[in-house]
């Protein structure tokens, strides 16, 4: 049945592309082996050109199959290559038995190194002598030495001796281990950084055997610093009679200052721009101080942030921030001062946990009048980010669970818990198409909306929520007819993105959202917008131009909304 399916697939491919397998294969009883042979054979034109071309294809096919069979452990295979009655190449194969692994030896010239490397080499479950296993075993032996005090271990030509009588093969790995080395500390060769800070970035302890993987991780951490453009680590020469060697670290600094700007324009949120200025490596520990100013139709703000990487431990970062913001929307007018601290703990390369505290002092004017509402919030989140590119993701997943307990005081008092789930996924349908989806669900329990600062309530509608609707319009409406904000939110977005060979692309999208007055998301009241857009791809991110319309437009709602910004919608 498997072989029949394979023949059908080959026939379909031949008719679709005018090609056929380089040679027809017969005599192979193992269906999996036969499928592998056809895969490595490749294709040829369905109509043979001449006898010279046919014989050339025959020799090529025989050579490819011979090498493939040996790589799979079939050292006694025989191949009869001939031209069939139809004038096409035919390979009649007798694979014979797959050879098993016999004796395994690792030789380094050092007894301790021999034992270390040999312990890392394990035969596969089926004990078949394949090229894939030989290469993997050799790499495992070398890695074992590199991470046990021989960081300069190098492989030499290996020996594989097959015995046709026993249908097995002995494997002899030869490795030059180099000198045994213990870690002798770190020496910073470049000024501008505190030596103690740089030393903290390695997990090696003085006097222990050097591990190459630890050196490589050290180098990656150095190159991940915002103040470093390039890092280079070299093992220092070994002194006579000594086994310890220092790590000499040379760093190429990145520019001390950086400026970033963004521009956005939409018919729902208006125009806006932001400017951020950063000072890197403020005190020699890669500290970054950033000031950000935003000037937009709805929001004007000024923020300051200090980032302290590797704070107290190697997988931790501390963020201190403060800011002033004035926000004026149809729902509310609010002036606020915030100050906060957040601790980031990296659990894995793509997973981190965050915990912090935030003080918010606000003066709010909404349907309830002018009030001073202040809050103290604990912020916590666990975030997963497996996207291939944050500005233009084409594959991967991003997800976050956010839990923020808080208390409000001043002209309104409340104790509440705000919870959000955010997730987005990206799948490359083909070389030119990417499917993208996003979900956001949120709920607040413990307090009524009126006792919360206006910007702590949930809103929906607009460019970051549901395109095709006015900003915050898909939210509970207050007594004054303006959006009042709710205690729950639901947002679902889907896009099909296309990018051509050049810089242009396009997108079709569906956005659905609603913020409700209940404490659980209200799916029955979701409103939907649809649209299309263009993308112009810069070297670092796409410029986005979207046009959207509401599906169930109501009286007073505009039929068309336009959005322009940098980066994908999500």
The 10s digit of each residue's pLDDT in 138-193 is 999 999 999 999 999 999 999 999 999 999 999 999 999 999 999 999 999 999 99
- For the chain, the 3-state helix, strand and coil shares in percent, each to the nearest 5, are 15, 50, 35
pLDDT digits (tens, 9 = 90+) for 275-300: 999 999 999 999 999 999 999 999 99
Give yes or no for a contact between 337 and 324, defined as CB atoms under 8 angstroms apart.
yes
Position 10 scores a pLDDT of: 44
Domain ranges of the chain: 2-94, 100-176, 182-253, 257-566
pLDDT average, residue stretch 217-221: 96
Please give the CATH topology (third level) of the domain spanning 182-253.
Ubiquitin-like (UB roll) (3.10.20)
Same fold, 182-253 and 257-566: no
Question: Which token pair is 435?
Answer: 């499917």
Give 421 or 557, the one with higher predicted confidence: 421
Per-residue pLDDT tens digits for 362-415: 998 888 889 999 999 999 999 999 999 988 999 999 999 999 999 999 998 899
**In this predicted structure, what is the pLDDT of residue 240?**
65
Q: CA-CA distance, 213 to 144, in Å (whole number)?
A: 10
Q: Are 496 and 435 in contact (CB under 8 A)?
A: yes
Task: Find the mean pLDDT for residues 307-336.
Answer: 94
Give the residue among 180, 304, 186, 286 at the shortest CA–CA distance from 243. 180
Site of tokens 């912020």? 379
- pLDDT above 70 (res 3): no
Q: Is the pLDDT of residue 49 over 80?
A: no
Give the tokens for residue 110. 């050092």
Indicate the range of 27-31, 246-250, 288-292 predicted with least confidence.
Answer: 27-31
Three-state secondary structure call for residue 32? helix
Read off the pLDDT of each residue in 203-227 and give the average, rounded to a whole number: 95
Kindly report, residue by residue over 449-500, the tens digit of the pLDDT.
888 888 889 999 998 899 999 999 999 988 777 888 899 999 999 999 999 9
Compute φ and ψ for 448, nearest 5 degrees.
-85, 160
pLDDT of residue 241: 65
**pLDDT for 54:** 84
Res. 14: pLDDT tops 60: no
Q: What's the token pair of residue 347?
A: 């659990």
Q: Which of the four pLDDT bands, split at 50, 70 and 90, describes residue 249?
A: very high
Check residue 21 and give its pLDDT: 87
Dist CA 79 CA 460 (whole Å): 69
Distance (Å, rounded) from C-alpha 443 to C-alpha 516? Answer: 9
Q: Which fold has domain 257-566?
A: Porin (2.40.160)
The pLDDT tens digits for 523-556 are 888 999 999 999 999 988 899 999 999 998 888 8
Q: How high is the pLDDT of residue 9?
A: 46
Percent of the chain with pLDDT over 90: 76
CA distance 101 to 161: 10
pLDDT at 19: 72
Q: Which CATH class is domain 100-176?
A: alpha beta
Confidence (pLDDT) at 479:
76
Average pLDDT, the chain: 92
pLDDT for the residue 8? 46
Residue 196 has pLDDT above 60, yes or no: yes
Residue 268, pLDDT > 90, answer no
SS3 239: coil
Cβ count within 10 A of residue 72: 22
Give the mean pLDDT of 218-243: 90
Q: Are 471 and 298 in contact (CB under 8 A)?
A: yes
How far is it, in rounded angstroms, from Cα 366 to Cα 480? 9
pTM here is 0.78
Third-level CATH fold of 2-94: Ubiquitin-like (UB roll) (3.10.20)
In eight-state DSSP terms, residue 237 is P
Residue 493: per-residue pLDDT:
98
**Weakest mean pLDDT among 4-18, 45-59, 346-360, 416-430:** 4-18
Quick check: 7 pLDDT over 50? no
């Amino acid at each position: 049945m498997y072989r029949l399916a394979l023949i059908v697939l080959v026939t379909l491919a031949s008719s679709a592309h005018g090609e056929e397998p380089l040679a027809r294969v017969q005599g192979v009883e193992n269906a999996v082996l036969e499928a592998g042979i056809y895969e490595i054979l490749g294709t040829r034109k369905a109509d043979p050109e001449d006898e010279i071309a046919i014989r050339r294809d025959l020799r090529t096919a025989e050579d490819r199959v011979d090498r493939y069979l040996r790589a799979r452990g079939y050292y006694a295979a025989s191949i009869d290559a001939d031209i069939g009655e139809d004038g096409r190449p035919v390979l009649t194969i007798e694979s014979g038995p797959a050879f098993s692994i016999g004796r395994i030896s690792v030789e380094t010239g050092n007894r301790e190194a021999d034992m270390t490397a040999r312990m890392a080499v394990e035969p596969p479950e089926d004990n078949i002598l394949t090229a894939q296993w030989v290469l993997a075993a050799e790499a495992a032996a070398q890695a074992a030495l590199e991470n046990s005090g021989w960081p300069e271990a190098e492989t030499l030509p290996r020996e594989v001796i097959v015995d046709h009588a026993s249908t097995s093969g002995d494997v002899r790995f030869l490795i030059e281990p180099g000198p045994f080395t213990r870690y002798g500390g770190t020496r910073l060769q470049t000024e501008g950084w505190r030596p103690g800070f740089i030393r903290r970035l390695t997990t090696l302890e003085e006097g222990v055997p050097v591990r190459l993987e630890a050196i490589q991780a050290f180098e990656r951490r150095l190159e991940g610093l915002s103040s470093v453009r390039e890092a280079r680590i070299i093992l220092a020469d070994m002194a006579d009679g000594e086994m310890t060697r220092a790590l000499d670290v040379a760093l190429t600094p990145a520019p001390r200052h950086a400026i970033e700007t963004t521009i956005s324009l939409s018919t729902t949120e208006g125009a806006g721009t932001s400017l951020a200025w950063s000072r890197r490596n403020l005190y020699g520990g890669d500290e970054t101080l950033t000031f950000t100013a935003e000037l937009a139709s709805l929001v004007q703000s000024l923020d300051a942030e200090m980032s302290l990487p590797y704070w107290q431990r190697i997988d931790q970062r501390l963020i201190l921030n403060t800011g002033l913001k004035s926000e004026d929307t149809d729902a509310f007018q609010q002036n606020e001062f915030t100050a906060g601290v957040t601790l980031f703990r990296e659990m894995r390369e793509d997973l981190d946990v965050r915990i912090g505290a935030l003080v918010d002092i606000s003066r709010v004017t909404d349907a309830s009048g002018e009030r001073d509402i202040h809050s103290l919030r604990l912020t916590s989140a666990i975030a997963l980010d497996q996207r291939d590119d944050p500005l233009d993701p084409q594959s991967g997943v991003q997800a976050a669970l956010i839990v923020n307990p808080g208390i409000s005081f001043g002209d309104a008092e409340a104790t509440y818990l705000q919870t959000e789930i955010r997730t987005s996924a990206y799948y490359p349908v083909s070389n030119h198409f990417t499917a993208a989806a996003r979900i956001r669900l949120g709920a607040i329990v413990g307090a009524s909306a009126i006792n919360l600062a206006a910007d702590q309530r949930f809103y929906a509608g607009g460019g970051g929520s549901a395109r095709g609707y006015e900003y915050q319009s898909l939210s509970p409406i207050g007594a004054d007819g303006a959006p009042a904000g709710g205690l729950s939110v639901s947002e679902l977005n889907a896009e099909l993105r296309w990018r051509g060979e050049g810089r242009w692309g396009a997108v079709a999208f569906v956005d659905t959202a609603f913020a409700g007055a209940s404490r659980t998301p209200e799916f029955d009241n979701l409103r939907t917008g649809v649209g299309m857009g263009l993308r112009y791809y810069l070297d670092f991110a796409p410029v986005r131009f979207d046009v959207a319309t509401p599906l169930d437009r109501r009286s007073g709602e505009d039929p068309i909304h336009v959005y322009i910004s940098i980066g994908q919608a999500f």
